[in-house]
Amino acid sequence: MAGIYIHIPFCKKACHYCNFHFSTSLRLKDDMIDAICRELILQNKFLDGEIINTIYFGGGTPSILEPIEIDRILNTIHKYFHVETDIELTLEANPDDLDKKKILALQLSGVNRLSIGVQSFYDRDLEWMNRSHNSGQAHQVIRDAMESGVTNLNIDLIFGSPTTTNEMWENNLSMAMEYGIKHLSCYALTVEDKTALGHFVKTGKEVNPDEKAIQEQYDICRRFLSAKGFIHYEISNYALENHFAIHNTSYWKGLKYLGIGPSSHSFNGFNRYWNVSNNKKYIDSLAHDIVPVEKEKLSETDTFNEYLMTGLRTMWGCDETYVNEKLKTNKDLEHHLNNHLEAGHIKLRNGRYIMTEEAWLTSDSIIADLFIE
């Protein structure tokens, strides 16, 4: 089994915190769809005939496309790849892009999972983030999706914003529960280079996120959702049983996937690939039947480090035997692992090293301690 990711590099507005590749100009949209379809055709052997069980439209803002444009991309996939009948087909969406008519049309195209970038149900948060929707639209799109029969629905929420109090954050979670949402992606606000927020912090217009507030809101999140029966299965993802995101889980478990579109990444089990992060260069290259991709062959060390990085982010963790075998010749790394076990950051359960929920918020530094140089 394998997945296909389609990157749609267009947005109406630039959110202050976002560092994904996108353009706010739609001038090249038609050419981009042509190029995406062309890349799919050229890359149809990449997965060696593996059956496709997930397709994920990300971005950018895929919901900026019309259903007929989504149809064209999906028709190309079905023509050139082996696609499972019971596929998970996700489309990321902004609340202001969807109404009942469009949701129904997307369902007819085969979309059976929506991931909606709500981020907050409070206007003051949304304005600070420079989102293109308001709280009323956030509520309306969820109602429209539910009434249209969408049963597989995720919403994204962001905590740690300077405009978000602990009470507001808990209310955001409560409102999601009132709608019967079964999957939530809850992200801590981070300051990234080459973003408006990064510039504001650098110039003193904003300050770095309050680490104490982020910790408090993270703790509120995991306690609140645990009490509602949600499973915290990855650092930022919570779901009821049988509602985990299949596509994203495949990334964390090291399965194969093909990334299509500018800035997208691919993995075939041995090598990593990434496309150029420039819309015009991407389009021009595909017009000449050249996939604008770079490649990195993963060494055994790279493979192990990535295994740690992805595995320890999840409830499934990493295999004890494999990790011990890799670390046994490096006493410093063995020492670091033992320190984290003693500190309670990592626990050994049923032959798996599992990072505790409490430690996940600082997982990057913990995992880096175990990397083989």
pLDDT tens profile 150-180: 999 999 999 999 999 999 999 999 999 999 9
- In angstroms, the CA 230 to CA 240 distance is 5
Domain boundaries, the chain: 2-251, 300-373
- Mean pLDDT for 231-253 is 98
pLDDT digits (tens, 9 = 90+) for 246-257: 999 999 999 999
Mean pLDDT of the chain: 97
Same topology for domains 2-251 and 300-373, yes or no? no
Q: Dig out the tokens for 136 from the structure.
A: 């009323």
**pTM of the predicted structure, to 2 decimals:** 0.96
Q: pLDDT over 90 for what percent of the chain? A: 98
What pLDDT score was predicted for residue 17?
Answer: 96
| Confidence tier at 77 by pLDDT (50, 70, 90) | very high
| Second-level CATH architecture of 300-373 | Orthogonal Bundle (1.10)
Phi, psi of 176, rounded to the nearest 5 degrees: -60, -40
CA dihedral 28, 33, 38, 41 (to 10 degrees): 160
| Confidence tier at 373 by pLDDT (50, 70, 90) | confident
What pLDDT score was predicted for residue 329?
Answer: 85
Q: Which of 80, 88, 89, 75 is closest to 43 using CA atoms?
A: 80
Give kind and range of the element (H or E) at residue 318. strand 318-319
Phi, psi of 180, rounded to the nearest 5 degrees: 75, 25
- CATH number at 2-251: 3.20.20.70
In sequence order, what are the residues at sequence separation of 6 or more whose Cβ sits closer than 8 angstroms to the Cβ of residue 151? none
CB burial string 263-298: b at 16+ within 10 A, e below? bbebbbeeebbbbbbbbeebbebbeeeebbbeeeee
Q: pLDDT over 70 for what percent of the chain? A: 100
